[in-house]
Chains A and B, each alone.
Chain A
């Protein structure tokens, strides 16, 4: 089983490790908002803004001493769907422009829309930048403190408990699934072919039944330990003066990145 990103690098002793998780969440949301508000058209001003924000994230990754290679790899894993969506910018239905191909016996003609490649590249850049920013925040924050931050920010406590339990049991059940996969590989000579596919449904079903049994056990154990609707937490979050200053600095940086075209004027 591959280890999760969080377990591998959430204990980075970098400068970001000391930040309040609420601050990191807020900064991430602000950053993503900033990049979402940028228009999707390939003028040099917009490209400059996007590159500036991407540079900001890259700088933060280096500054936080996060393992850049791991982040880069992980960010590439999320890209296929974005690539699919970006690729739709390269093709349009209809005549005119640069004709690409036509489907025979129908009236469907495909063409290459003007500036499609630039827009596709812009979409990929945007998505990759936000993913890198998200990964950076994730890699420097353990998930339990995220949950504390969510609870303190807006989320009802019952949902926080549910999310915490999902996180807690993901690894237990994934290892259970991993053991079943090993068993399948050993009994079907490598896990390919029709036999293996037939078994897959039974495996998921078995996993479901074991899940139900486990949840009953978990509930009994929780009740015995005095559970009454919330999980007790030992460490409190502390918002310091430095956090306020950091938030101001982030807002200032983002505002600078957004306001840039006003100062430089129209291209």
Chain B
């Protein structure tokens, strides 16, 4: 799901760079104690682990072979901040080693594979997992978390492409999210297998106090509850603001092209909603309002989930 360059419009790519930059900044400041002296090798070697784990191919039937993405695994074990910073480092190295993922698309890729994946996985895990990290419920929560992480990442990816390109939205979302739902099922199975192995090999990892000691308190399982909410909301805010300004600026090339009559009637590719219309609805107002309403509803649901989570944690404490 590594987006290459040339697919995203400048406005979308810029907004995602801002959003992902904010997310990485917040996450690494949450991990400040770790990153300065104590545990830089920890995150570094963890990133290398993800690289190596992606080399272990698992055959699903005769044609497909999957591999672990690892975002959900790290988010479950160490919290979303560690996940975001690790994935960011991995993406930079993948870009600089094999041109896997684009330069301008680095922001979008960090957002999809790091922020969306880790935060969605961690949110689902926190909502569903029992306090004791064992038993069927724990593994079911981890599997659902891994699945939700991959699907959330692919959804963000499809949305970014849909905002950049004049392709059919239904086909685009159907293809990308559909393919990644299958991949997400594989990721879920692998995450559970891996957690089961870890449970046997390193039970100390699952005792919360031990995990907290391991990551020096900053990204521990206990103190992580506010951090992913703040990461998500703040970076969404930054991304939206940048997208607004980026799209309101006149695109010089578009302007010159339309002035010279070349394709003046077509929608500019770099607008945030190029020709955004809901199929089958004639009213222009409705066609534009429906996507916005869907977005607002999604954000509301997200906030409601956050509030519920906070209340639940408070009840557990109180």
Contacts and interface: CB of A to CB of B under 8 A. Distances in A.
Interface of A: 4-6, 28-29, 32-33, 35-41, 43, 45-46, 74-75, 77-78, 81-82, 84-85, 87-89, 91-94, 110, 113, 119, 123, 126-127, 129-131, 134-135, 138, 143, 146, 150, 156, 158-159, 161-170, 172-174, 176-178, 180-181, 191-192, 196-198, 200-209, 211-212, 214-215, 218-219, 222, 227-229, 258, 261-262, 265-267
Interface string B52-73: 1101101100000000100001
Given A40-B164, A46-B263, A197-B58, 6 more contacts: A89-B167, A119-B166, A130-B102, A204-B194, A215-B46, A258-B253
Contact of A75 (B58, B93, B95, B99): B99
Given A169-B48, A201-B192, A162 B43 contact: yes
Contact of B56 (A38, A88, A170, A203): A203
Contacts of A38: 253
Chain B interface size, as a band, is 35 or more
B165 A123 contact: yes
Interface in B273-290: 279-280
Contacts of B102: 32, 130-131, 134
Contact of B45 (A159, A215, A267): A215
B56 A81 contact: no
**Which of A227, A266, A267 has the largest count of B CB atoms less than 10 A from its CB?**
A266
B42 A39 contact: no
Interface of B: 1-10, 13, 24, 28, 35-49, 51-53, 55-56, 58-59, 68, 73, 85, 88-90, 92-93, 95-100, 102-104, 161, 164-168, 170-172, 175-176, 179, 189-190, 192-198, 200-202, 205, 251, 253-254, 256-257, 260-263, 266, 268-270, 279-280
Nearest to B172: A88
A70 to B, nearest CB: 12
Contacts of A265: 260
Contact of A214 (B45, B51, B171): B45
A93 B168 contact: yes
A161 B40 contact: yes
A138 B99 contact: yes
Contact of A197 (B7, B59, B161, B200): B59
Contact of B4 (A131, A166, A177): A131
B48 A37 contact: no
Would you call the interface of chain A mostly helix, strand, loop, or mixed? helix
A130 B4 contact: yes
Contacts of B48: 165-166, 168-170, 172-173, 211
Given A162-B44, A206-B197, A36 B8 contact: yes
Given A180-B56, A200-B56, A201-B196, A85 B171 contact: no
B159 to A, nearest CB: 13
Given A35-B5, A113-B168, A134-B103, A201 B36 contact: no
Contacts of B52: 170, 173-174, 176-177, 207, 211
A41 to B, nearest CB: 5
Contacts of B175: 84, 87-88
A167 B165 CA distance: 34
Contact of A81 (B2, B88, B202): B2
Given A5-B98, A91-B171, A208-B194, A123 B51 contact: no
A39 B4 contact: no
Given A165-B44, A261-B262, A159 B103 contact: no
Contacts of A43: 262-263
B263 A163 contact: no
